[in-house]
Amino acid sequence: MNTTPGNPPADQVVAAPTYMADIRFFFRPEDISHMAAKGIELGTYDGVKKNALAVLAQTSPPNAQMPPDAAGKWSADRAQTFKNWIVNGYPLGTATAGSPRRPAAPPRPGSARTSPPSPRPSSSCSRRRSPA
C-alpha cells in the first residue's frame, strides 16, 4: 500500500483504537472533501461515528469501493482496526503528543517539506549568570 500524509504506513491491527489516536488518521484530506460533497462528513468524530457502518462496508477489502484510488485503499488490518473501534463503542480518546500510534508517512515527492527547528547550542542553554 502506498503511503501519503494522513495515511500511516505499515498498518497493524489495533485492538483498542480510539478516534483521536488512530481513526482520524485513516481519512486523507481528499477523502474528507470528496465525501463532504456527497453530504457525508468524515472530518469529525461525530461524522465518522454516524457513518461508521457505511464506511466499513465501503472500505473493507477485498471488494472495497472507496477510496476510489488504489493508493487510498485500506488494508485488511486497517479495516479490522476500524471494526474494532465500532465494536468497542466508538471511543473518542484524547490527542497526545505521540499520535498517530504509527510513524508518520513521508512527504509526497514534490511536496513542501519543513525542517524542524535547530536545537540551540548547549553552551548557550547551560550557562547561568550569577547575581552581582
Preceding omega of 100 cis (within 30 degrees of 0): yes
Q: How far apart are CA 69 and CA 83, in angstroms?
A: 22
Q: What is the pTM of this model?
A: 0.67
pLDDT tens digit string along 88-105? 999 999 987 655 655 334
Phi, psi of 36 (to 5 degrees): -60, -35
Q: How far apart are CA 75 and CA 2, in angstroms?
A: 11
Q: Strands, DSSP E only, in the chain?
A: none
Lowest mean pLDDT among 12-16, 29-33, 116-120: 116-120
